[in-house]
Amino acid sequence: MILNTQNLAALFEEQLNSWEQAGSNYEALAKVLVKDVVVDGFPFKVQFNPARIVSSAAKVDAKSISERKCFLCKENRPAVQKGLDYINNSDTANPYTVLINPFPIFPKHLTIPLLDHTLQLISGRFDAMLNLAGELPDYTLFYNGPKCGASAPDHFHFQAGNKGFLTIEKHLEKMESEVLFRTENTTVSKVNGLFKGLIALVSDSPSQANDIFEKILSVLPLKEGEAEPMVNILCWYETSGVNKDKYVTLIYLRDKHRPSHYFAEGDGNILLSPASVDLGGVLITPLEKDFHKISEIEIKEIMDEILIPESVTNAIVNKIKTVL
């Protein structure tokens, strides 16, 4: 199915009218508290969103995953939850389903799982992310690795939300960068600043972007016992500005799943489990105490802790240069 504004609008209208939980959560989203915090020149928005406790506090250890039913599998989803079928042209054997996320961060928030129950591993599926970004020009696609914020690491899925919601979309062109590789169609850069290990891939050629992404992924560090490098990915098709008519992909290189603040006791505890949306500039706090408490200091500490250090970034950059 070709996704477009009309069939997505119809899906949202039907689901928000027929699904009481989803309708209530989207209605509540309009009333969430939001505050602005600037960290090292980067503008964050902090959102107090109680409904997101389901994701932020999700147990994603192997034992917990094995003991619960997968909520992205069709047979386990609520009967009221409907979706749109989507087939990636370059991989017709593995269809996706476009669903309304019932615990939204964005005014329009989608979850896009594979129909089959398949592990959350991006290699071989990034082309689908690019194709979806092209078919959904009003949305930003995102991918959370299995140890990088995904609350369903056992079932492959993307998510998507309204373009323009994440602060990095507009701020990216203001951030200093170092070009690592350039062709007529594609530029790969290391983005400097607060986000250590941030790689930007900008291209007007989805096939070239996909090939380069796979090469980059192949040289990223892999922790012992893990099947995939720790990454969060944002991707959108730009319709204006300096990157007009290009696919913009941001690859965040992670060192840790959750920061020490998440596990701290007493006043030091902040229940923030950063994923792609947080790294895109919108921090999700499901507890009101954390919304009021979190400041530039804590945000800086959390980013420094979960992202790879500068020394590792430099080593990875050298490896990326050798394969491109």
Tell me whether strands 157-162 and 177-182 are parallel, antiparallel or unpaired. Answer: unpaired
**What would the mean pLDDT of 213-238 be, rounded to a whole number?**
95
Q: Alpha-carbon distance 113 to 86, whole Å?
A: 10
Report phi then psi at 62, rounded to 5: -60, -40
Write down the mean pLDDT value for the chain. Answer: 93
CA nearest 153: which of 125, 123, 120?
120
pLDDT given for residue 60 in this prediction: 56
20-29 and 5-18 helices, crossing angle to 10°: 110
User: At residue 65, what is the residue type?
Assistant: I
> Is the pLDDT confidence value at 13 over 70?
yes
30-46 pLDDT tens trace = 888 999 999 999 999 99
Structure confidence by residue, pLDDT tens digits, 63-77 = 677 778 999 999 999
DSSP 148: T
Summarize pLDDT for 110-150 with one digit per residue, the tens: 999 999 999 999 999 999 999 999 999 999 999 999 999 88
Q: What is 5-323's CATH number?
A: 3.30.428
CA separation for the pair 167, 160 (Å, rounded): 15
DSSP 3-state of 227? coil
Q: Partners of 36 in the beta sheet?
A: 45
